[in-house]
Structure 1
Amino acid sequence: MTIGLVSPDMTGSFTGRRAAGPGFWQGTAWQRRAFWRLLWQDTRDRASAYADQESQRLFVFAPVLLGAGILLGDLWRVGIAGPAALLASSIVAGFVLARRGHERLSYMLRCLALVAAGVLLLAVRLAVVAAPVIPSGLPPVTVTGTLGEVELRERDRRYTIDVAEIEGLSRKDTPARVRISWRGAPGEEEPGDTVRLRASLAPPPGPTHPGSYDFSRQMFFERIGGAGYSFTPPEVLGRGGGSWRTDAEALRERIAERVEGRIGGREGAVAAALVTGKRERIPEDVVDALRDAGLAHLLAISGLHMGLVCGFIFFSSRWLLSRSERLTLSLPIKKLAAGCALSAGLFYLVLSGGAWSAQRAFIMAGVACVAILLDRRAVSLRNAAAAALIILFLRPEAVFAPGFQMSFAAVVTLIAAFAAIEERWPRIGTGGPLTKASAFLGGLFLTSLLAGAATGPFAAYHFGRIAVFGLLGNMLAMPIVTLAVMPALVTSLFLMPLGLDGPVLILVGKGIGLVLSIAEWTSSLPGAVRTVPQLDPLGLAVAACGMLTLTLLKAPWRAAGLFLVILAMPLSRMAEVPEVFLSRDLRNVGVRTDGDASLALLSKRRDKFSAESWLQALGKHPNINEQQSFATCTAGICRHPLRRGGELWVLTDRSQLRSACRSAAIVVLRSADESVDRGKCAALLIALRPEGNHPAAGILYTDRGWEIRVATPFAATR
């Protein structure tokens, strides 16, 4: 049997040649070597052609490289000089190599420059937003400043204050902003007012255990250096006003009150949140039902809301302009409609409070509108890349935010999937009403399925729960939101100055009522919510790389992304979950158990938020009342057995420390004492630091015995 080889001096592809059969092994050694040599050449040529194809799409990969640099900069804590020098040298070397014809080396240096730019962006951002943090153990103080934001929540009011002065702190130690809660009756304070109040402040809260969400990271970038509660209502020292921010906040409040007052009940609270972004008015049971039904994204001013508002204005204005034959023939009505949509998006951004999720959504919608103005495709991977680049340049810390990760995961997946479908099965004609309805429902189903699959790993990692029937909830609720609720809300805003918004808001209330009924029914189905134990960040990183490989690459090797997604599943289960949880300042302790309950808690009343977070890390429903209490508690001593053997002792003072060190495996001393000598204690000893504080921590059992892992707040590392 012949082998079908060409002579060694011939070039070309192996395409069309016969594969080596049994006769291959009967050929000469020269023939076998020639076969493998030509196979290697063919594989190398194909890989080179694929690489050249991908290299033409550097702009699409740019946000990924920039984001990788930002993540690297978070690990590699350097100043500005190092990344700046690396960026400059990469650009210069890449330009020189390109002039000399070394395109591939130049391409690699351009990729390196993007990574260096990410490191530099984060370093600059950290330097710009750096501000003092409230010291631990600060007694109650008087705070004076300008009221920046007022959040009217179900149980209290929360104020964000631009600080002018804090009693007992020097100017260089005073944080730029603080966040204070007040549980008393609301006063007449408004954003922009100069206020004074008496409050207890502490540093921004860090993670509740190693690997959990770090609240201090977000507050650091918002320049909030302290949080606490007030003993007195804010005393208004002077009225603000005159700035556009103050006027916009006052307008938001008036519209929220009008919408909520006209509709009433929980439907009115949800409608006010959809218009103004004020979610604090929504009852907790409604939030839980929407979250468990996979509809929590309705409560955040995100790409969905901005897209619906801009889309409604675009198509409505285009339809109105097309009613005039003269305008249609003389003016570019599509571009005019895009301009109207862009203006509406900007107004909605201001009206919704300008939260970062809303800014991200406006940037994405704005890129689409500008693309129409420039005669480009409104929806493409290049436009998504442009939006991501703008966001990362403005706020490089967005790469750590769950909203940014989930938003772009969904957007990129949907664009890539629908582009592939359109390329394979192009649309021919418009079809009749039945065809259009089928296409709408099919598109909604596919959109919900793909978006859920793309955001699922991020939701599981950040929130520890999966809405099992999220696809069903979205299929039932989203047509109502898309076709009725959001268009009616936009219409009501136009009619509100005329006082004609009442009937339209009634329609909005009916639509939201249907959505809430769907959410409650979906969330009440058996097994509607699945809790997920704490996942390893390596698994999330590999899953993200796999999805990016599948969606961004064009060559056949993008199929490797499926392998990465599958590989991420076992990797994500490698997270080390502590055997013992310690809350901040050792206020509460949780010990893992083998029974039906997941934790034995030192206290079921103290620091409930941390205890709920510990249960979520174990993949359990966060119901504190179902957990055990410590086995034995006497005067000053609480004890509980450990699954790995021995006991954990919690002491309120050091009078029993010597006995505890002899008998226990772990000793938690809830008092500050500089004289504690850990070397003389046979047990693992954890005590408050001399200044009276201690970060949250977890204790793991390793080959070397018991080890403590401290969850250091982000603000404390800067």
Structure 2
Amino acid sequence: MKAWRQASGFSPEQWLEKEREQIPLWVPVGLGIGIAAWFVLPHRWSWLAFCCAALALACAAALLPAGGRGRRIAISAGILACLGCLLIWGKAVLVEEPQLQRATFVTVTGKVQSVNPVPAKHMVRLLLRPMDAPALPSLIRVNVRESDMSPAIGRDAIIRFRIRLMPPAPPTLPGGYDFAARAYFAGIGATGRALPPVAIIKPATAGPGIRERLFSHILDRVEGPAGSIAAALATGDQGAIVEQDAEAMRRSGLAHLLSISGLHVTALVGAVIFLLMRAMALSRRAALDWPLMLIAAGGGALAGIGYTLLTGSEVPTIRSCIAALLVLGGLALGREAITLRLVATGALIVLCFWPEALTGPSFQMSFGAVVAIVALSEHPRFRAFAAARDENGWRKFGRAIAVLLLTGLAVELVLAPIAFYHFHKAGMLGAFANIVAIPLTTFVVMPFEAMALLLDLFGLGAPAWWITGKALELLLFIAHGVGGSPMAVALGPALPPWVFGVMVMGGLWCLLWRSVWRWLGLAPVGIGFIAILLNPSPDILVTSDGRHVAIRAEGTGMALLRDKAGDYVRSALAESAGYDGVLESLADLPQARCSADLCSVLLDKAGRSWRLLVTRSGMFIEKEAFRRDCQRADIVISDRRLPGWCKPKWLKVDRSMLAATGGLAINLDRMTVRTVHAPNDAHPWIPRRRMRTDQSIFQSGGAAAQRSPSPVASKP
């Protein structure tokens, strides 16, 4: 090895010396690895083992000869990983609140903490603290119909109503959105929908807050779908956006415009700095004697902080505000501010205060996009291409479009793995849609909306609102046009976590280093993309309650057990399977025989026939007939608790098993079962339920699974 290094001229220490300015960028990565390990590993003993292994790495590195950068990096990496795991573990202990363990009907008397209208769903979302109810969690989230609301229901109001409370919902299927984890760190212990009437024990003493009044004012001034987008841009509240428009924005790659993030904060701060600089330049004394940049940066900082507070102080907005403040500090000091060190500092601050944000798509997508943009802008060839020069207007315009397109493509490539992992789909045309959408939002919509709000103080905002509405209608036209294209998104089934982790580390390796060795990161990225292409779609999906089962039929279609399943369930099943078509009825399949109580389906997979038996009702079924059907079936699925004498050949899925595992994704070709919850998962938001002793579902197959079933399904 030493001879090879001498012959090739490569030495790790020499390489690290060349990359010395980039090494600090890995500090938040090391902390993030420890945080991610806490979420991935199942219980406290594995968390302790990880911390010990990280410290052992640091101790082993300390034994290396002193003076080398590799030694210091290994020591720092071990300590940071251990600190990250302890940080999120400690926060989970600090924020721990009792959570509801099972559904219950109760009469709740509670004090309103916040009011969040959701006009698109004709409801209002309340956060309440129950009073004189020690058996209930200290904070619950309640949905109330608009027709049951009253102007007297506001912050600090006391109300009483009847409700069916539920524990915060875990993912319905493997790879789904985990609201239970988010609710745990938000302190929410239960959710539900209030049943009328809602009695007001004590009306609110104060009216709606500034954010609520601004939200209502914008909806009054701009009618239709454009008004809901305008309200989201100003307040961060997307509750008025109907699902069709929200889906179009997602499919077209423009959904980032709806979340208050770096684009919005930067546009506001930039506009404030521009106006202050121009206003102060009108005074000769100010222009000659005052520190204009320092004053303008201070004004921009105050505007950014105020905007963050106004829009609810969500983590993405706070992250953007922190980044903006760091940029302003750099500008005030005369330093180059927009660098990867700035991004790393912002990420480190967010992870220290909100470590749970690491696993959310908002944190990952916002920082991923910013890292891609800054890394691209720092590349010498791109910087030379994008630099201003003496050329005619058409060439300058074409160069600006090319720069915007290249930046959009870089962002789309970086965000694709994140979108696939969290949403099971990634935008393909977002870079082209953003060429028009970003300038339209930054230079037309937001300035004119701000101008309209300012002019409304004097009753003169109507013309500015008209321009804002027309610009937003154009934005929605672009979203629906691009999102409606069959090439708008690429769909795929839920990804295993290891694929996502490999791609993220490979991408960071490419983006954070500068030398030619950075391109080694393309290897894990390429492995991840191949894994995405080869990732098999599940043949059977079972929701966590066992009521809804989707089966991949022969060909490319999918069939659903219950025809009356709602849109949310249908969407979750289709997205988890990477399916973009219409779910058929299982009873309509030629290989299925269904009655009111049972469905028997014959599936040809992996060169053999599989017999699936699924219950459809809670009615009593004759024991002997059901025992016979269980014995003939390879897989039995039910939303009820099945008796011990029901013994299928491979897998029995019933209520007791699903209570411990959550939803399932079954692949018959590989004979594997993926679950929502790992065995013995001890994260604090997981309900404490005992796992059945039969662990065959976690095996890739067994002797019983190798027996060929009868080619004819028995009729229930």
Report the counterpart of residue 662 of structure 2 in structure 1.
695
CA contact (8 A) 1:209 1:711 kept: no
Could you give the per-residue CA deviations for residues 359-400 of structure 1, whole angstroms, max 9, x where no partner exists?
222222222122223332221011000100011111111111
CA contact (8 A) 2:635 2:649 kept: no
Report the counterpart of residue 183 of structure 1 in structure 2.
145
CA contact (8 A) 1:184 1:233 kept: no
Q: Which amino acid aligns with 2:553?
A: T
Assess, with a 3 A threshold, how the Cα gap between structure 1 residues 196 and 59 changes in structure 2: closer, same or farther.
Answer: farther
Report the counterpart of residue 258 of structure 2 in structure 1.
299
Secondary structure of 1:591 counterpart = strand
In the TM superposition, what is the alpha-carbon distance from 1:622 to its structure 2 partner?
5.5
Q: Which amino acid aligns with 2:138?
A: A
| 1:649 aligned residue (591, 603, 613) | 613
Report the counterpart of residue 694 of structure 2 in structure 1.
none
Q: Is 1:162 matched with 2:124?
A: no
Within-5 A mapping of 1:413-452: 413-420=372-379, 421=381, 424=384, 427=387, 437-452=397-412
**Residues in 2 aligned to 1:92 and 1:667: alpha-carbon distance in whole angstroms:** 52
Report the counterpart of residue 527 of structure 2 in structure 1.
567
| 1:455 aligned residue (405, 415, 418) | 415
**Residues in 1 aligned to 2:168 and 2:232: alpha-carbon distance in whole angstroms:** 26
In the TM superposition, what is the alpha-carbon distance from 1:589 to its structure 2 partner?
1.5
Assess, with a 3 A threshold, how the Cα gap between structure 1 residues 41 and 477 changes in structure 2: closer, same or farther.
Answer: same
CA contact (8 A) 1:637 1:650 kept: yes
Which runs of 5 or more structure 1 residues have no equivalent in the other structure? 1-35
**Residues in 1 aligned to 2:519 and 2:307: alpha-carbon distance in whole angstroms:** 40
Secondary structure of 1:182 counterpart = strand
CA contact (8 A) 2:56 2:78 kept: no
Secondary structure of 2:211 counterpart = helix
Assess, with a 3 A threshold, how the Cα gap between structure 1 residues 699 and 436 changes in structure 2: closer, same or farther.
Answer: closer
**Residues in 2 aligned to 1:166 and 1:592: alpha-carbon distance in whole angstroms:** 50
| 2:652 aligned residue (685, 691, 694) | 685
In the TM superposition, what is the alpha-carbon distance from 1:487 to its structure 2 partner?
1.3
Q: Is 1:494 matched with 2:444?
A: no
CA contact (8 A) 1:342 1:366 kept: yes
The aligned length equals: 669
Could you give the per-residue CA deviations for residues 396-449 of structure 1, whole angstroms, max 9, x where no partner exists?
111111111111111111111111146555846677766654454333223222
Q: Which amino acid aligns with 1:686?
A: V
Report the counterpart of residue 118 of structure 2 in structure 1.
152
**Residues in 2 aligned to 1:122 and 1:116: alpha-carbon distance in whole angstroms:** 10
In the TM superposition, what is the alpha-carbon distance from 1:122 to its structure 2 partner?
0.7
Q: Is 1:66 matched with 2:26?
A: no
Q: Is 1:507 matched with 2:474?
A: no
| RMSD between superposed Cα atoms in Å | 3.2
TM-score by length of 1: 0.85
| 1:112 aligned residue (70, 78, 91) | 78
Within-5 A mapping of 1:547-558: 547-558=507-518
Assess, with a 3 A threshold, how the Cα gap between structure 1 residues 691 and 454 changes in structure 2: closer, same or farther.
Answer: closer
Report the counterpart of residue 96 of structure 2 in structure 1.
130
Structure possessing the higher radius of gyration over alpha carbons: 1
Assess, with a 3 A threshold, how the Cα gap between structure 1 residues 473 and 669 changes in structure 2: closer, same or farther.
Answer: closer
Could you give the per-residue CA deviations for residues 467-502 of structure 1, whole angstroms, max 9, x where no partner exists?
332222111222221211111122233333333322
Report the counterpart of residue 377 of structure 1 in structure 2.
336
In the TM superposition, what is the alpha-carbon distance from 1:577 to its structure 2 partner?
4.3
In the TM superposition, what is the alpha-carbon distance from 1:511 to its structure 2 partner?
1.1
**Residues in 1 aligned to 2:378 and 2:178: alpha-carbon distance in whole angstroms:** 37
Report the counterpart of residue 179 of structure 2 in structure 1.
215
In the TM superposition, what is the alpha-carbon distance from 1:601 to its structure 2 partner?
1.4
Could you give the per-residue CA deviations for residues 568-620 of structure 1, whole angstroms, max 9, x where no partner exists?
2112345464322222221212222113522x211022354233222222221
Report the counterpart of residue 470 of structure 1 in structure 2.
430
Secondary structure of 2:426 counterpart = strand
Q: Which amino acid aligns with 2:201?
A: L
**Residues in 1 aligned to 2:585 and 2:653: alpha-carbon distance in whole angstroms:** 27
Q: Could you tell which deviates more after superposition, 63-72 or 681-690?
A: 681-690
Assess, with a 3 A threshold, how the Cα gap between structure 1 residues 41 and 397 changes in structure 2: closer, same or farther.
Answer: same
**Residues in 2 aligned to 1:643 and 1:342: alpha-carbon distance in whole angstroms:** 63
Report the counterpart of residue 346 of structure 2 in structure 1.
387
In the TM superposition, what is the alpha-carbon distance from 1:680 to its structure 2 partner?
5.1
Report the counterpart of residue 331 of structure 1 in structure 2.
290
**Residues in 2 aligned to 1:213 and 1:540: alpha-carbon distance in whole angstroms:** 16
Report the counterpart of residue 699 of structure 2 in structure 1.
none
In the TM superposition, what is the alpha-carbon distance from 1:283 to its structure 2 partner?
2.1
Assess, with a 3 A threshold, how the Cα gap between structure 1 residues 107 and 161 changes in structure 2: closer, same or farther.
Answer: same
TM-score by length of 2: 0.85
Report the counterpart of residue 697 of structure 2 in structure 1.
none
Q: Which amino acid aligns with 2:496?
A: D
**Residues in 2 aligned to 1:411 and 1:253: alpha-carbon distance in whole angstroms:** 30
CA contact (8 A) 1:137 1:692 kept: no
In the TM superposition, what is the alpha-carbon distance from 1:202 to its structure 2 partner?
1.2
| 1:285 aligned residue (240, 244, 250) | 244
Assess, with a 3 A threshold, how the Cα gap between structure 1 residues 650 and 147 changes in structure 2: closer, same or farther.
Answer: same
Percent identity, aligned pairs only? 26
Q: Which amino acid aligns with 1:665?
A: D
Report the counterpart of residue 14 of structure 2 in structure 1.
49
**Residues in 2 aligned to 1:533 and 1:706: alpha-carbon distance in whole angstroms:** 15
Within-5 A mapping of 1:486-635: 486-573=446-533, 575=535, 577-598=537-558, 600-606=559-565, 608-621=567-580, 623-624=582-583, 629=588, 631-635=592-596
Could you give the per-residue CA deviations for residues 643-702 of structure 1, whole angstroms, max 9, x where no partner exists?
3423222233453431222222222233236xx216855463222239989832233437
Q: Which amino acid aligns with 1:47?
A: P
Report the counterpart of residue 716 of structure 1 in structure 2.
686
Assess, with a 3 A threshold, how the Cα gap between structure 1 residues 84 and 239 changes in structure 2: closer, same or farther.
Answer: farther
Secondary structure of 2:580 counterpart = coil
Q: Which amino acid aligns with 2:600?
A: R
Which runs of 5 or more structure 2 residues have no equivalent in the other structure? 689-716
Report the counterpart of residue 641 of structure 2 in structure 1.
672
Secondary structure of 1:466 counterpart = strand
